[in-house]
Structure 1
Amino acid sequence: MSAWIGTEQYTTYFNHPDADLQGIITASMSLGSFAGSLGAGPLSDKLGRKLALVIACIIWIVGSIVTATAHSVGQLIAGRVINGLSVGITSSQVPVYLSELSRKEIRGRVVGIQQWSIEWGILIMFFISYGCSFIKGTTSFRLAWGLQAVPAAILLAVIPFFPESPRWYAEKGRWDECREILMFLHGENEVSQIEYEEIKLQVESERSAGNGWLGLFGRDLFMYKRTTVGIFAQLWQQMLGGNVMMYYIVYVFQMAGLTGNVNLTSSSIQYVIFLVTTGITLVFIDKIGRRPLFIYGGILMGILNFAVAGTMASYGKPVTSVDGNANIRWQLEGKPATGVIACTYLFVAVYGFTWAPAAWIYISEIFPSAYRAKGVGVSAATNWIFNFALAYFVPPAFRNITWRTYIIFGVFCFCGVVHSFFMFPETCGLTLEEVDDHFAKGSRAWKTKRGGRRQPTGRAEENVDIHNDEGKLSVKSNTGTA
């Protein structure tokens, strides 16, 4: 959408949407994603991670067809809502699926691949849209929106060759299949056997607590702590202003005096920066940890938001429109405009290094197996409902309060820093079963360390002794031997 909102083909065909209507069009996908995220947990728990993704692919293809054939704003919104349902399922359940397949040593990198892949998709579709923008008439945006269906068709074809989650098999009591998948992933060695026994102890412990929706906010397994942390991790990721930059980058550069192809080219540079910085983070994220990314990333992005606001306030001027776009009421020229563009690029770089991948990785790690699909679904739903609100809010904000929009996001950046410092424990370097300890111990988040050390918590599964008896592994706990 960001590649089209400034083009003549799009604005003419859809009768020059004003700020409010464009906000609804853009935000409609996020609204669908909110609904898809809430329904994704029960769907994934019932049918499995693979089949949930199959359903998401089919929904995406249908939505792409509806969008590509849109003859009215209503049909365009309907198609984007349908697409959003698919995004809600995939954005919440792909992290669950990848985290449940990954070893703790590389889990951050593996789950982070989702965010990196999304950025590849953004970049590729932006350039496809850029190329299609040279086509006259409605064929331009219809071709671009229709091509969205191709990746979903490819994923639909290859999913049958993927393994199912071993932890989903465990939740269903299908232990032989759970063990088989673990051996497929890790080989027939002690690693797969130890992980199998840890999963078994954890699942048996969780069964007494149940896994209903209300349990996400209960005291059993300290779920209320996990759920609030997951919700706020996704809330702050949105309120930092990162996705808004992506949606309305064309508006930002039009304020800075860039129009036409120069605008689109400058926008594409941002996507390249986003892609490169996230790719670099994936190399180091399992060594750095999650907390430093949240804290230092939020501080830097807050500073950059304030820098943009200060530059625009000091050197900009009010206008009635920019390049015929009445949604933009502020403009900069000369070196100050270059400064705003530079800050925008730096913001995206920091966002790609920190919160963009880290928030999705984090929510895939903090929930126990019985609640993981629903917990990540609720967290992702928070992301999308705030994404919806912000996508709707920003066009009128640019029109009515102009540079003050960045002050709002700057304040939220520092709110996210304070909250993550006091409430987000470190999860890097722990198995998914070991992550429970940080919440169960009641440890102060700022004292938790990467790769944490397990300490007794009074729960049966904590006092575990894994040893080898005549070549056969066994796991002893307070409740007996597995």
Structure 2
Amino acid sequence: MPLSSDCRRALTIAITITCGTGFLLFGYDQGVFGGLLSNNAFLGTFGNPNATIQGQIVSTYDIGCILGAISSIFFDDKLGRRRSIVLGCCLVIIGGTIQTASYHLPQMIIGRIVAGLGTGMNTTAIPMWQSETSQAKQRGKLIIIQLVLVLGGIVITNWMNFGFTYTPDTQVSWRFPLAFQDFFAILTILFISFLPESPRWLVMKGRRDEARVIIARLLAKPQDDQQVIDDLSVICDSVARAEEHGNFGWREVFRNGKKQTLRRILLGAGPSFMQQMGGTNVVAYYLPVVLVRSFGFTNRLALILSACDSISLMFWGSMATFLIERVGRKNLMLMGAFTQSICFCVAGMGLSFNTNRGSILAVTFIFLYYVFYGLSFLSIPFMYPSEINSQHMRNTGAAVAMVVNWLFVYVVVLITPDGIANLGWKFYMMFGIINFSFLPIIWYFFVETAGLSLEEIDRLFEIKRNSRHSCTPKTRRGIWRRLVDIRRLSKTSLQKDQSSAL
């Protein structure tokens, strides 16, 4: 009995909400410490640490995230997407509890690392699960929705930190925000218990019958429907061709053979590197600190502006759902790198004047930065690795991208307090120059993936001549002709297998 279209939409919405809740937790963890660093009760509990120690406390979370992403390389394909997410959430709950109960720096650091382990695993597994259960025409929009909910987490923590400025000297003003992260982890575990595993992972594990059932549920069609058979055949064909090359490992990565594995892993990790070295966490982690130390605002006003800015980012991030499939990933990255460069350069220039008007100019462009970042680099680094890598290397490629992401989060978070204190306006100019340097790299090396299924992207890289160019209308027509032929061959092959089995 086929499911109704309403049931199909409900299943897709449920998966997206679950992924979004996991990323809401990610966003909450990203923003919670920005407010605590200006909380007198928190600072007093830990001996009023200086700027360097503050940077180290914050960045230990990123060390945990790096280790969590590395562990995903070895465990996610064995555990599956759902169980990997559950394990990540359990680690976040343990880490959040340790942080909440901390009275000494070593306790806080251990809690931050454990929570980071879970977040590193989740930021690898959640986008893969969403990508592998989505249709090609919806994939970009659905992943953007979950990334917008990251901003929802930042909004919650910013307003919570502001609310606790009215009880600044109480322990609850910093312990409750740290404890609240456990709530989102528990919700994610509860939601995911009722949802299906990735059909692509099931095929990779030889569980084709289970994969067929899930594909039918996702399409709201009976299991013998032609579209279900076609989709399963394409996935099976992709996995079978990958298995022809033997077991995939690090030798395959460095050999960079027919599937261009090394190139694809580097392309997948590229947006993560650009996102972090583009300066997003100068704003995300430290905006209240930046507004107080660089612009001279009061702590309460800084928290209000931070909360308003996060709402603005959430709005502009959601606007990307209308652009991601029409404009494409590559064009949005080009736009983002160029406009972010302008924003940081103008902000640095405004601060260099050391006047009220200069400060207003700088604040305006720091806030404007979030408009262009929300439309571009907010979501693409979490989307692109799951699209660009082959089925057998998708987990490894996504994990490598997250290792790069968290490694450079760690670098930026560690250097920002001292950078603001010692370099002043030059610190912002530095990120403007870095953003501008990304433009030729994106233009020459990156490949457009909008509108292609994961299996079609896989074949795209086997067509080496075309894969070195963006999917312009001219090259795309040629690629589509090749992919249509491949689809027909895959369907014929599967139908022969079914006939012989009967």
Tell me the TM-score normalised to structure 2 length. Answer: 0.87
Q: CA RMSD in A?
A: 2.2
User: Corresponding residue for 2:22?
Assistant: none
Letter matched to residue 216 of structure 1: V
The equivalent residue for 2:233 is: 197
Post-superposition offset of 1:480: 7.8
Map of 1:88 onto structure 2: 120
CA–CA distance in structure 1, aligned partners of residues 487 and 192 of structure 2: 38
For residue 224 of structure 1, the aligned residue among 252, 257, 262 is 262
1:252-289 deviation line (CA, Å, top 9, x unaligned): 21121211211110111110111111111123312221
Q: Which moved more, 1:123-132 or 1:437-446?
A: 437-446
CA distance, structure 2, for counterparts of residue 268 and residue 236 of structure 1: 25
Alignment check: 8 A CA contact 1:437 1:457 kept: no
User: 1:445 and 1:268 mapped to 2: Cα distance?
Assistant: 42
The aligned residue for residue 348 of structure 2 is: 309
Mapped partners of 2:444, 2:146: distance in 1: 27
Q: What is the rounded CA distance, in whole Å, between the counterparts of 1:264 and 1:4 in structure 2? A: 11
How far apart are the structure 1 equivalents of 2:156 and 2:201? Answer: 33
Aligned to 1:62: 94
For the pair 1:251 / 2:273, whether they are aligned, the reply is no
Deviations 1:26-48 (A, max 9, x none): 11111110110111132210011
The 1:363/1:465 distance shift into structure 2, 3 A limit, reads: closer
- The aligned residue for residue 425 of structure 2 is 403
Q: Which of residues 470, 474, 479 is equivalent to 1:455?
A: 479
1 CA distance for matches of 2:58 and 2:410? 8
Q: Distance in 2 between matches of 1:444 and 1:206?
A: 18
Q: Per-residue deviation at 1:4?
A: 1.4
1:132 corresponds to which residue?
164
Where does residue 116 of structure 1 map in the other structure?
148
Residue in 2 aligned with 1:262?
Answer: 301
Rounded to whole Å, the distance in 2 between the matches of 1:121 and 1:217 is: 38
Output the amino acid matched with 1:36: G
Equivalent in 407, 422, 432 of residue 444 of structure 2? 422
Aligned twin of 1:287: 326
Aligned partners of 2:55 and 2:415 also within 8 Å: yes
Task: Confirm or deny that 1:389 pairs with 2:411.
Answer: yes
Name the aligned partner's letter for residue 474 of structure 1.
K
Q: 1:279-326 CA deviation, whole Å, 9 max, x = no partner?
A: 11123312221011110110000011111111111x12xxxxxxxxxx
Deviation, structure 1 residue 476:
4.5
**How far apart, in 2, do the equivalents of 1:390 and 1:359 lie?**
17
User: Contact (CA 8 Å) 2:271, 2:380: kept in 1 or not?
Assistant: no
Q: Is the 8 A contact 2:39 2:174 kept in 1?
A: no
1:48 to 2:74 alignment: no
Residues 106 and 408 of structure 1: is their aligned pair in 2 closer, same or farther, counting only changes over 3 Å?
same
- Specify which of 153, 157, 182 is matched with residue 149 of structure 1: 182
Residue 115 of structure 1 aligns with an amino acid whose one-letter code is: L
Match of 2:274 among 236, 240, 255: 236
Q: Distance in 2 between matches of 1:90 and 1:223?
A: 23
Question: Which of 475, 478, 482 pairs up with 2:492?
Answer: 475
CA–CA separation in structure 1 for the residues paired with 2:119 and 2:95: 11
Answer yes or no: is the 8 Å Cα contact 1:425–1:448 preserved in 2: yes
Give, as a single letter, the amino acid of the residue that structure 2 aligns with 1:223: T
Instruction: Tell whether the 8 Å contact from 1:437 to 1:455 is kept in structure 2 after alignment.
Output: no
Closer/same/farther in 2, CA of residues 40 and 444 from structure 1, 3 Å limit: closer
Letter in 1 for 2:472: K
**SS at 1:474 equivalent:** helix
CA distance in 2, matches of 1:88, 1:214: 25
The match for 1:345 among 356, 364, 367 is 367
Unaligned runs of 5+ in 2: 1-32
Q: What's the CA shift for 1:64?
A: 0.4
% identical equivalent positions: 25
Instruction: Give the match for residue 185 of structure 1.
Output: 218
SS in 1 for 2:492: strand
Distance 1:184 1:236 in 2: 37
Q: 1:19: how far off?
A: 1.7
Residue 25, structure 1, aligned to residue 57, structure 2: yes
> How has the CA–CA distance of structure 1 residues 411 and 457 changed in structure 2, closer, same or farther, with 3 Å as cutoff?
farther
How has the CA–CA distance of structure 1 residues 42 and 480 changed in structure 2, closer, same or farther, with 3 Å as cutoff?
A: farther
* Alpha-carbon spacing, 1:465–1:251, altered in 2? closer, same or farther (3 Å): closer
Q: What is the aligned partner in structure 1 of residue 46 from structure 2?
A: 14
**Preserved contact between residue 213 and residue 374 of structure 1 (Cα < 8 Å):** no
Runs of 4+ in 1 over 6 A off after TM superposition: 479-482
- 2:313 maps to which of 245, 267, 274: 274
Distance 1:396 1:199 in 2: 50
Q: Could you say what secondary structure the match of 1:368 adopts?
A: coil
User: What is aligned with 1:365?
Assistant: 387
2:198 is the alignment partner of 1:159: no
Contact 1:60/1:149 (<8 A) preserved: yes
